[in-house]
Amino acid sequence: MSTLEQYIKEKYNDPYWFVEFVNEIHNQQRVQDVVSKKEYLNGSHAILKRQSYKYNGKEFHPRKIVLQYAKTLLNFQKAYLLQYPVTLTGDKKVIEEFSKVNKKAKFDRTNIKLLDKVLKYGMCAEYLYIDNGVIKSKILDPSEFYPLYDHEQNLIAVVEAYIVDGISYYTVFTDKTVEKYSDAGGQMKLRERYASLSGLPIIYHNDNEMDETQGKSELDDWISILDGLEDLLSKYMDATYKFIDPLFIVSGQTLKGQNIDSSVVGKGINLDDGADAKFVNSQLDYKSFETIYKTLLQSLLDVSSTPAVSMNKTDISNLSEVSIKLLFQLSTIKAGRNEQFMREGLEQKFNKIRRLLEGYRNISFTDDEFDSLDLVFTYATPSNDKEIIDNMKTLREMGAISLEGILEDSPFTTDVQYELNRIKSEGKGIVQVDNINDDSLSYDNKKDEGLAV
């Protein structure tokens, strides 16, 4: 009896156990949290719940200013880590096969979607399968999938559940099978059953202090600050419109026969001796508003590890490479944390791709060949290209860097293999700089060091 079968027998003892599992409180709480995050990103903010009230005897509709800073911050984190495709390095044979799979399945785009969902909702899942001989993947929506862990926090099943036109659909992923159920016709039945070629789906999630099997949305750290910004800005706008209409006050007696009405603005009146007339309005303390707003905004940038310069909050010019790195230091640290859970998920994906290639495409690798496979993430940190080129030139003249190393570090190179082949085809396989021969660094003689794609 498998671990899953034993778990179901002990806890549910029901062939349709997944229905009860999906409806458990902890699962529904997580899904409701995901739905609330989706609504927030769609524009449903707390500021929109402000109620109208009476002012000067009339109904006043307060300002409800929505700031979609959350989307901007999420886009920044996503682009900072994955704006440039992940580079694969390792054995030539492994890289060639994995690059073919990556290109056909468009995994670079999939990686961006996965990171996007983890940042927004804390976790997501990806299932690999073969369609007409092509390896593809399906991303499971965080509001529709439910991972099942045993008491040792090992993933033993994943249930995907959703409702369309009043009909409930369930897909149960196990290590061996994929089963599809629905209650169409009023009765729950098994509709389809397939062999699971790649095993269980891959779960991507970031760090969560309360649960190691689930992630935590980045929005949880930002929403309270964004609510404060929206509330402050909306109320200050209300105050501006209220106080821009001053009160007209007359002290003493006006001349006989004059009436003062609400249209007095722009008109003149005659006053008796010793009388006075003036406009009186409240003074807005804009300095306090400016201080609080800037403090909240800076707190938002600090908490989200976003450099102020990327949000056009700071003017810079003529910065050195070191200064640029210092400005983006927090962003780099944050990207490093995001890289860890993405790397963990992608390493699981590589194992499943190997399983599919060896089991169903007759393409096999030795353990040493496969273990050479590695990932290189290139962060989208602004750089002083001229300074980088000058430094590489100096290293080259010292004999401290290879031609391939220069191409890998060059800000103008996107495909190292392609550039090496072009250099070779142009008859420049032998490149000499200060009597240093690069023939030994040509592509054909670098097989042992692997290939970057």
pLDDT of residue 388: 82
Provide the domain limits for residue 435.
384-453
Return the closest-CA partner of residue 373 out of 95, 47, 33, 32. Answer: 95
Return phi, psi of residue 354, to 5°.
-60, -40
Query: CB count, 10 Å around CB of 318?
Result: 6
How many structural domains comprise the chain? 1
Q: Report the pLDDT value the prediction gives residue 13, as an integer from 0 to 100.
A: 87
* H-assigned helices in 84-207: 92-105, 107-121
Amino acid at 385: D
* Burial of 434 from C-beta contacts in 10 A (0-12 / 13-18 / 19+): exposed
Task: Using the structure block, give the residue that is written with the tokens 């099997």.
Answer: 213
Residues near 256 by beta carbon (within 8 Å), at least 6 away in sequence: none
Dihedral over alpha carbons 290, 296, 301, 304 (to 10 degrees):
-170
404 found inside a domain: yes
**Rounded to an integer, what distance in angstroms lies between the CA atom of residue 392 and that of residue 346?**
31
Residue 64 lies in a domain: no
Confidence at residue 58, expressed as pLDDT on a 0 to 100 scale: 80
Reported in sequence order, the residue ranges of 252-319 that DSSP labels E, i.e. its strands, are 276-280
Residue 285: CA atoms inside 13 Å, Cβ hemisphere, count? 6
- Report if residue 320 sits inside a domain: no
Separation of alpha carbons 187 and 285, rounded Å: 66
DSSP designation for 158: E
Buried b (16+ CB within 10 A) or exposed e, 386-397: eeeeeebeeebe
> H/E element holding 5?
helix 3-11
User: Could you tell me if residue 164 is inside a domain?
Assistant: no
439 belongs to a structural domain: yes
Residue 448 lies in a domain: yes
Beta bridge pairs of residue 168: 163
Output the six-digit token pair for 19: 């229905």
Q: Torsions phi, psi of 334, nearest 5?
A: -65, -45
Q: What is the pLDDT of residues 379-433, one digit of tens each?
A: 988 877 787 888 888 988 898 888 888 887 777 777 777 788 888 888 654 444 4
pLDDT reported for residue 401: 86
Write out pLDDT tens, residues 13-69: 899 999 999 999 999 999 999 999 999 999 999 999 998 888 777 888 888 999 999
User: What pLDDT was estimated at residue 36?
Assistant: 96
Predicted local confidence at residue 451, as pLDDT:
33
The per-residue pLDDT for 448 is 38
**pLDDT attached to residue 188:** 93
Q: Partners of 127 in the beta sheet?
A: 138
**Kind of pairing between the strands at 87-89 and 123-131:** unpaired
Pairing of β 436-437 and β 432-433 = antiparallel
Q: Does 299 fall in a domain?
A: no
Q: Which residues pair with 158 in a beta bridge?
A: 147, 173
SS3 call for 99: helix
Residue at 441 is within a domain:
yes
Is the separation of the CB atoms in 17 and 8 below 8 Å? yes
- Report residues of the chain scoring pLDDT below 70: 1, 243-274, 277-283, 314-321, 427-453
Vertex 273 angle, CA 270 and 278, to 5°? 55
Task: Note whether 205 and 122 are within 8 A (CB).
Answer: yes
Pull the structure tokens for residue 388.
Answer: 């980088």
